[in-house]
Amino acid sequence: MGVETVPSLRYLGGIIGTLLEGVITLDCMQENCVKEGLKRYNSMESFQRYEIYPAISASRGVLKDASNSPERIFRQGIMIKTTDTGEWFYIGGISPYWGHEQLIVYQGGSEASSQGKLNKSVIDDFVDKGGLGVVPLYKEKVPSVWYNPVLFKDCQGSFGIFWNYLGEFQGGVLSIFSNAPNILRYAEDLIKARKASLTYSSYGHYYLSRAAENDVMRPASDRYPYIYFALGTNPLVAKTHGLQIYPGFTFDTVTSDVSSCCCKIMPEPYCKSSFLDYIKFNEIDIGAPVYATLPCGTSCSTFGLAGLIMGISSMSVNNVQLIYLTIAQPPSDLTTSAIIEWAREMNIYDSLSKLFEAGKRFKKAIADLSTAFPQFIATAAALTVDWLESYDDGLKQAEDKAKELNELYNKVVEELAGKPPSITNRYVYDQWWKFKTRVEKCAKEIIVEYPDITYDELVKEVENCAEFE
């Protein structure tokens, strides 16, 4: 890596040792196990590599103070399809700058959203409890195969807390997967080229722009993540010295540990000096997944998810500037019941329970609306309502939105497909019918994905979609 780098994790261990009043040593075998896990994923050519990609999240509404600020707009986490019930969840960072709108999540280029608007009281509760949240999701397009993150396992193949396996003054190497550098890069390209902004204002409110979704979130979520190394320490020792029980320490730039094997653990462009400007910890990294493994004799335990970043702060030890990370453990498995238990442990179950109730109302509203409107219109309309409020009031809002979307859909299809030609010319009629079918399919998908889309935007999107279908 052709850039100037800071000292290694071993140097960091010495610094942290003075803070914890002991000598922090690194296990070379554990470090090698981490690097081998990273090399395996970087060299993987199958879709399975998506299981380590972070999810990128944002609200479709933001506070004025977040206008065009990537650090305030975006967060990271994981998107899960539960193994017991098949439900979808986002577990990850929640921004205090998000407004009372839909939560949007992308992972591997695949999109999902909250089941209606996310109530501001829920957002505030998640933020107040540490900055991580869990949100049930609605997913319109479900991939034929979905790769959940693999959880960290001990040498017996059981779930465990990685930090608990560290000796009193033993340091463990953690690998942090982050797409914050790619988010910053795409956002900078978007704004500098003056193509668009990340947000736009309407009647005094600020909203996430279509460009922020299509040109930042979607492509960034489909890029291999950047890898940071950090040092974890024994939780009891950390707690004794006033630190969070699952801490991580690192530097705010490239470490020599990363530079020595950079091209083997992540794409080569990330290892060039031009990428260095984007390698800085920031609020986008809240919720980023942390992976680890253990040495088990001549082999290694499962390289898997050991935690999610909960907090990021700077600290100085012996005049050396460090990044101090607080890390939350993940659920013990990827079932709905384990996620509920995790929410209890994080003290956010009350908000999750509210979202479950809202989800029931969301599904009921779709069923009620589908008696008068097509299924896709009913779904799109239901996605625009906060279902924690009165059901009757919410259903009335959704009905009005459904009427608006139904008119919009019919108008756009008629505009783009035109009137049918005479059926006597079978070839011309068949070509028209095929094009009209593509227009309808595209319009349906786009309306569900962007239920607040305008007529002009929908015409443009459907034209582009139908042309390449």
Cβ neighbors of 154 (< 8 A, separation 6 or more) are 160, 165, 294, 301
- Give residue 6's pLDDT: 59
Q: Give the tens place of pLDDT for each residue, 295-315.
A: 999 999 999 999 999 999 999
For the chain, give the mean pLDDT.
94
Here the tokens at position 364 are 């009921």
Q: Which of 434, 445, 444 is nearest to 467 (CA)?
A: 434
Domain boundaries, the chain: 9-349, 370-468
Q: Give the tens place of pLDDT for each residue, 85-119.
A: 999 999 999 999 999 999 999 999 999 999 999 99
Residue 3 above 60 pLDDT? no
- Give residue 342's pLDDT: 98
Tell me what the mean pLDDT of segment 69-97 comes to.
Answer: 98
- Give residue 366's pLDDT: 98
Strands 102-107 and 110-117: antiparallel
Q: Which of 224, 212, 214 is nearest to 184 (CA)?
A: 212
Residue 292 above 60 pLDDT? yes
- Give residue 148's pLDDT: 97
Task: Tell me the C-alpha distance between 23 and 171, whole Å.
Answer: 10
Tell me what the mean pLDDT of segment 12-24 comes to.
Answer: 88
- Give residue 297's pLDDT: 93
Tell me what the mean pLDDT of segment 334-338 comes to.
Answer: 98
CA–CA distances in Å: residue 75 to residues 132, 172, 315, 349: 10, 26, 22, 21
Among the residue ranges 243-252, 279-288, 377-386, the one predicted with the least confidence is 243-252
Residue, of 437 and 240, whose pLDDT is higher = 437
Tell me what the mean pLDDT of segment 11-31 comes to.
Answer: 90
Residue 422 above 60 pLDDT? yes
Q: Give the tens place of pLDDT for each residue, 211-231.
A: 999 999 999 999 999 999 999
Q: Can you spell out the DSSP letters for 357-371?
A: HHHHHHHHHHHHHTT
Among the residue ranges 11-20, 342-351, 388-397, 404-413, the one predicted with the least confidence is 11-20
Report if pTM > 0.75.
yes
Tell me what the mean pLDDT of segment 412-436 comes to.
Answer: 90
Task: Tell me the C-alpha distance between 445 and 111, whole Å.
Answer: 12
- Give residue 468's pLDDT: 67
